[in-house]
Chains A and B, each alone.
Chain A
């Protein structure tokens, strides 16, 4: 098992956002979580990655975790290459491996030509590609994606799904959160988050 979420609860004041949420994910699985805006999808992901504290419950993750946040969390004054170097240091990847990996990701998602550009000068779509590529840099065992393809064009969207299929074939478990789900057949399981509960 790669991810086990047990009885997670979270409230903001009197507003109970998550109410005893539980699920498990095995290797090579693809799960989706859908729900209306403000239903607590991003809150659940932030709790799983450790960004926010939950009120009670337990979470266990085995293996490296990759997280692509909903908002592009990038340094506006650094270049694409510098981001790969900075995050490679965070993951503890050696330089040669991180160079190979980042170049292959830039080629796959077609943004190598922007490698020397500062983030402030890139389009929203290219920033989103880098946002995703950073989560993939260290070949995670569990990939958590929060609205990952919101700024993608059709070609990048197709490549994104091809890439996730490839990752699954390598044993990576993928959890996608979105408010808009069009291709349900891609997923092993889809949860609906409603009134703080997964159905």
Chain B
């Protein structure tokens, strides 16, 4: 492992990323668009709902609009980071392979990508967190942002795994959109979850713990530590899987 190679890789990855204007525009515009649509369309009726990850089976009363705003913040954070991670790994895969032939260790390339992804996860979580707090009062903003970073971590590592495994762009985007849509965009919605017939399946999906962590921080004073812990474990599983696939695909075969 060579620190100079990793920092050179990181600086080049960030340059490549920020020179793609459509990516920057998407990062800024998509959350604003999602939240504005929710703000303009969601009803303000207050409903009680239950948070499954809390030990105390308590009901929280919030307006549908506020629930939807927090929920869409979580969804857009996971979705954006996942697509960025896919883009980081997949788009320049063949050239990265050439770097490995020329002397880079596959792990050096992966660490550079992970560092770039970490910076993006933090930036996206802070941006979306502050944006949502402008629409709706957030109980614990710091922990809420941490919840958004957590879904970024879990879905970012999922994006890395898909990017390492799947060569086709369309197929990669499809797998991300499908899971993000079904899991984070539908099943983890507290309103849907509370009424679900079988919520055991929902608990095993990637967005479950990060969503719980963010919603707990947004609406309650309860600790979301366990949800955060399990979320980190879940993300680490994807991370190890993606590292394994990436290394096996990139290493020199002799």
Contact of B19 among A77, A89, A92 (CB under 8 A): A77
Q: Please tell me if the beta carbons of A51 and B103 are within 8 angstroms of each other in the complex.
A: no
Q: How far is the CA of A56 from the CA of B253 in the complex (A)?
A: 12
A69 B16 Cβ-Cβ under 8 A: no
Beyond A75-B12, A77-B19, A82-B15, is A50–B254 a contact (Cβ under 8 Å)? yes
- The yes or no answer to A27 lying at the interface (CB within 8 A) is no
Among B179-232, those with CB < 8 Å from A are none
CA distance A75 to B11 in the complex (A): 13
A-B contact count (CB 8 A): 63
Chain B residues positioned under 8 Å from A91 (CB to CB): 102-103
Query: Which A residues touch B253, using CB under 8 A?
Result: 50-54
Does chain A have a CB within 8 A of B8? yes
Residue B247 is within 8 A (CB to CB) of chain A in the complex: no
Looking at the assembled complex, report how far the CB atom of A195 sits from the nearest CB atom of chain B, in whole angstroms: 24
Which residue of A54, A69, A82 contacts B98 across the interface (Cβ within 8 Å)? A69
Q: Is the CB of B8 within 8 A of A49?
A: no
Query: In the complex the two chains form, what is the Cα distance from A59 to B253 in whole Å?
Result: 11
A87, B104: Cα distance in complex, Å: 9
Chain A residue with minimal CB distance to B91?
A76
Contact A89 B4 (CB under 8 A): yes
Q: Which of B20, B102, B252 contacts A90 (CB 8 A)?
A: B102
Give Cα A91–Cα B100 distance, bound, in whole angstroms.
10
Q: Are B101 and A86 in contact (CB under 8 A)?
A: no
Contacts of A92 in B (CB 8 A): 2, 103
Question: Which of A50, A53, A74, A85 gathers the greatest number of chain B CB atoms within 10 Å?
Answer: A50
A66 nearest in chain B by CB position: B102
A49: B residues at CB distance < 8 A: 101, 252
Task: Give the shortest distance, in Å, between B237 (CB) and chain A (any CB).
Answer: 28
B12 and A82 contact, CB distance less than 8 A = yes
A149 at the interface (CB under 8 A from B): no
B88-107 residues at the A interface, CB under 8 angstroms = 92, 94-95, 97-99, 101-104
Q: 14 new A-B pairs (CB below 8 Å) besides A50-B101, A77-B19, A89-B9?
A: A50-B253, A50-B254, A51-B97, A51-B101, A73-B94, A73-B95, A74-B95, A75-B16, A75-B92, A82-B12, A86-B99, A89-B8, A90-B102, A91-B102
Q: Which 9 A-B pairs have the closest CB atoms?
A: A50-B252, A53-B253, A90-B102, A89-B8, A77-B16, A90-B103, A77-B19, A73-B98, A90-B104
